[in-house]
Structures are given as structure tokens and as C-alpha cells.
Amino acid sequence: MNETLTDEAYARAALTYLAEPADRWLAQLIRVSSAAGALDAIKSYRAPASGPPRTKAGMAMMAAMERWRTRLPELPAPEDVLAFRESGIRLITPDDAEWPGQLADLGEDQPYALWLRGNADLRFNCLRSVAVVGSRAATAYGAYVAAEFSASVAARGLAVVSGGAFGVDAAAHRGALGADGVTIAVLACGVDVPYPAAHAELFDAIAAQGVIVSEWPPGRHVSRLRFLVRNRVIAALASGTVVVEAAARSGALNTARHARDLNRRLMAVPGPITSDLSAGCHQIVREWQGTLVTSAAEVIEYLSPVSAPPTAATGGQRMGETGGANTGGAKTTQTARTAQAGKPLARRQAPSVLPRDQLDLDSARVLDALPRRGGMGTVRLAQRAGLAPATTATLLGQLATGGFVERCDDGWRLRRL
């Protein structure tokens, strides 16, 4: 194993600290300047060479750079990135042999780099893999199906990809582990952060027998939006996705949308028509031309050969646009940019009457950055949200008007509704 980092590899590691994943402005900057060039541009706060800074696009790029610069104090040195290896954490980039080539299907939403913890080779195991996802509040039926399907496909040599959450995800991971198979957990936090905390032992088992994956650097904690952004990676890594249980508005359905838009094989397990947790599965079959599966054998049959993905129409949606059937109805990054960007919060009386999942993306980031208990100052909050302090201050005022936050001795805190 090399004991040095190339400038490009270090830059990609650094960019995972500065920007949230799937930032189109950063993807554009990397494309025209390389990751190392993008990092230099952010540090020096200069316009990229791709165009004049006074244009609308140039000014938007500079505003994005201002956001990223708020996190510059968090940057590790190259030797600190290398030191993560001592705790079993490694970094891979698109230049590495272990990088899964299918991530290129995400286009500009491709990860800048991936942090891994575990012994399995990510690229090799993703060549024959299936994502098994579903509700956190899984029924006994859903947990049984997820575990049984996962154990059976793992015994046949397929890696099982899921998100490490309660319910269906946990059952899928445990089913694969029980069959001595490989399982891959894609997290919405650092690979060293056990979330949920009750799954600390499960994550250790996954790392010993498979691999844990994250776009976020070590030490980074979860936020609501990060789960939705994470889901596109689950869908992209796997050859196909099986949804075991999903409500009409759920994160599992969000993952299924990404799988559909990426032309991955999409499957759903039927459930009782009286069960809200099967409504999303039935929608996948009824409206998205997903394949109904009732056994692991049917999953394996549909995935063979995995080298021939389906060519069904994707409904004209661009990658990353997911409509409204997401966790809590929240929209993914691209939809939020195109449909919500720049939209001010409506004036409301407290307590809030606008659902949280209808906030614009930057307002949601500020809300997610606030601690669950206690308060936080504007500057620190801006760093955590990845926004400029001035923008954060404006959004806090709007959120206060809407009844979401309130001032306190430490700065700002969440309002108890």
C-alpha cells in the first residue's frame, strides 16, 4: 500500500470535507480544472478559468466557492488522510483500481471520492450485486423476506447492498452475513460513525466480512438530507434493486426511483393490499414497470446476466429528479435546485404551518445543521451547513419567522413545536 497521496487524490479527499456530495457547481469545477485545480481555486478564492466571473454563471460559481470556503478550517493535512489507514479506513478515487466504474452513470452527481472501511474489494463485489432496501419500521413479514432473500442471493455469490438502517436494511445485512456472504453498507455519515448507534456491532461485522462506504469524511454525522443524497449511490453500485417494503413516501422509494432512472433492474416484493408499507412496492410494479418478485430465485433469474441492463424508458426524468415520493416527501438535490432554488420562505405564523419537507434546499441545510439540543452561533452553523455566513443569517431570520428556530443565549436553536 502506498504511503503517499497524489495531489489529485488528496484534493478529492479534501473536497469531501468542503462540499456536500452531488454539488453540480463543484462537479463543473472539477471537470474544467481537475480536483487539484478546484481545491486551489477554492483556497485562493479565484474564478475558474472556464469563464468570466461577472457572468451569471460565474457569479453563481463564486457564491458556491464562498460556501465551500467556510469549511476550510476543517481540512486535514495529507498525512492526516493517510493516518486513517491505521484505523482501517481508506480513500478511493476514480483513478483507483477499486473504484466501481458504474458510478459514472451518475454523471455530474458522481462522488468526488469514497471513504471505505472493510476488507472486501468494492469494485469486484459490485460487479454481481443487488440492493435490498425497505422501510425502517419493517413488519415481521418484511424483515423475514429481506433476510431470506439476502441470505439466498449471498449464498449464490452476489453481494448485498443496503443502507445500514433499522428494519429491512439491517435484516438484509444480517441475512448476507449469516450466509457467509459479502454485504456493502452505504452510509449517510462517516464510515467511523455508527448510525444508528445500536448497529455498532453490525457495522463491525460488515467491515469484517464486507465493506462500509461513504461519500462523507470520517467523523461527519448524519443529517436528514444526506440520506436522500446517499440513496443514489446505493442504486448506482448495485446491478439491481429489490424493494421489500416501502410506504408511498419513503426513502426506499427514493432509492427505487434512482435505480429506475439509472436503468438498473428494479424489483418489488408484493404485500397485503391493506398494508401501507407495501403501497410503494405496488406502485413500483403498477406505474414504474418494476418486476414483481416472490423468491430469491426470481431475483437471481432477473439479474442474470447482469451485464444486460433493461432498456425501459425512464419517463423523461433526468438523473437525480425524483418527484415527491421521498422520505417525508423531501425532494432530492437536483429537484430542490431546479424547483426550489432561490424561492423565499412564505411568511407564516409560529408554529410553522409549512411542512419541513417543503423548505428550499439551503433552508433545510441550516435546519439540519442545528444541534438537537442547545444552541449554536451563526458562523459555526454556516460551517456545518456549508453556506456563507451572510446567507445563513438571512435564512435563520426566515426560519425564525416560519416558527422553525428561535434565538437563545448560544445563538440559535430549534424551536420546540
List 267's β-bridge partners, or say none: 242, 291
Residue-wise pLDDT for 368-412, tens only, equals: 899 988 899 988 898 888 888 888 888 888 888 778 888 888 889
Residue 4 has what pLDDT? 81
Question: Higher pLDDT residue, 331 or 117?
Answer: 117
pTM value is 0.79
Work out the pLDDT band at 364, boundaries 50, 70, 90.
confident
Residue 34 has what pLDDT? 94
- Contact yes or no for 179/274 (Cβ under 8 A): no
- Whether 103 shows a pLDDT value over 90: the answer reads yes
Residue-wise pLDDT for 28-83, tens only, equals: 999 999 999 999 999 998 866 545 556 888 888 888 999 999 999 999 999 999 99
Question: Higher pLDDT residue, 6 or 48?
Answer: 6
Question: Higher pLDDT residue, 4 or 267?
Answer: 267
- Whether 310 shows a pLDDT value over 60: the answer reads no
Residue-wise pLDDT for 311-320, tens only, equals: 433 333 333 3
Q: Is 76 helix (H, G, I), strand (E, B) or coil?
A: coil
State how far the Cα of 305 lies from the Cα of 138, in Å rounded to an integer: 30
End-to-end Cα, the chain, rounded Å: 52
Residue 49 has what pLDDT? 54
State how far the Cα of 385 lies from the Cα of 392, in Å rounded to an integer: 8
Residue 398 has what pLDDT? 82
State how far the Cα of 175 lies from the Cα of 224, in Å rounded to an integer: 27
Query: Could you tell me the residue ranges of all domains in the chain?
Result: 7-82, 88-303, 342-414
Question: What is the CATH class of 88-303?
Answer: alpha beta
Work out the pLDDT band at 333, boundaries 50, 70, 90.
very low
Q: CB atoms < 10 A from the CB of 384, how many?
A: 21
Work out the pLDDT band at 309, boundaries 50, 70, 90.
very low
Place of cell 462506504: 213
Burial class (CB in 10 A: 0-12, 13-18, 19+), 273: exposed
342-414: CATH topology: Arc Repressor Mutant, subunit A (1.10.10)
Q: Which amino acid is at 144?
A: Y
- Whether 197 shows a pLDDT value over 90: the answer reads yes
State how far the Cα of 259 lies from the Cα of 185, in Å rounded to an integer: 17
